[in-house]
Amino acid sequence: MELKKKGNAVGLIETSSIARGIYVADEVMKAADVEIIVNRTICPGKYMILIGGSVSAVTASINAGVIAAAHTCVDHFIIANVHPDVFPAVSGVAHIPEVKALGVIEGFSVASIIKAADIAVKSADVQLMNIHLAMAIGGKAFLTLTGDVAAVSAAVEAGAKVIGDKGMLVESVVIPSPTKDIVSEFI
């Protein structure tokens, strides 16, 4: 996953309806010059569209999409300057040479976890390991990150706060010294 067009803004809309989600995706693409990064169904019967482009184009498209989504909009975001580590973590291709402390943030929406990942990695010296987006986990999403204990604690606190303020936080934990068996599930 990477942005091909100019601009490093991303936006996401998550809907509770697949049919409405497809309609929203079309409206988003017609609103401005953006590119689709992810456009698919997610569990449990929801839909998401993640787009990228310039800040103004992404803002225009997401605003149009939120209006089109109406009552089916579960969550949405616009990130003007997304951290470059977010896409490898979403794709599952982040390279982590060593896992130190392990941080996990779990949320009720895909949008909330991507936003939390961006905030977390910008707030402390940590590496994103994985961002799991709502497949086979009841529509929830979670992220894992690593670094020293203090950095992981600060990053988890920052990421959990941003989604907690929206009422989307399920749980967050910091494991100072995770076992290799646990870590192997995420790298």
Question: 18-42, pLDDT tens digit by residue?
Answer: 999 999 999 999 999 999 988 999 8
| φ and ψ at residue 19, rounded to 5 degrees | -60, -50
In-domain check, residue 2? no
The pLDDT score that the predictor gives to residue 91 is: 67
pLDDT at 56: 96
Same domain, yes or no: 92 and 169: yes
Does 26 reside within a domain? yes
**Is the domain of 58 the same as that of 144?**
no
Quickly tell me which residue has 């939390």 as its tokens: 116
**Taking the CA of residue 59 as centre, how many other CA atoms within 13 Å lie in the half-sphere pointing to its CB?**
6
Neighbours of 154 (CB within 10 A): 19
Question: Same domain for 97 and 167?
Answer: yes
Give the residue numbers spanning the domain of 14: 9-79
Q: How far apart are CA 142 and CA 144, in angstroms?
A: 7
Smallest Cα–Cα separation from 134: which of 28, 36, 12?
12
**Boundary-marking domain end, from 26, 61, 79:** 79
Based on the domain organization, do 91 and 28 belong to the same domain? no
- pLDDT digit string, tens, across residues 71-119: 999 999 999 988 888 877 776 666 777 889 999 999 998 889 999 999 9
179 and 163 together in one domain? yes
Query: Is pLDDT at 52 greater than 70 in this prediction?
Result: yes
Identify whether 4 is part of a domain: no
Q: If you compute the radius of gyration of the chain from its CA atoms, what whole number of angstroms results?
A: 16
Its pTM surpasses 0.75: yes
Q: Crossing angle, helix 149-164 and helix 110-123, to 10 degrees?
A: 140
Angstrom distance (rounded) from CA 133 to CA 174: 20
Of the residues 36, 55, 79, which one is the last residue of a structural domain? 79
Write out the two tokens for 41: 């169904």
CATH of the domain at 161: 3.30.70.1710
Q: Are residues 71 and 127 in the same domain?
A: no
Q: Is the same domain home to 91 and 177?
A: yes
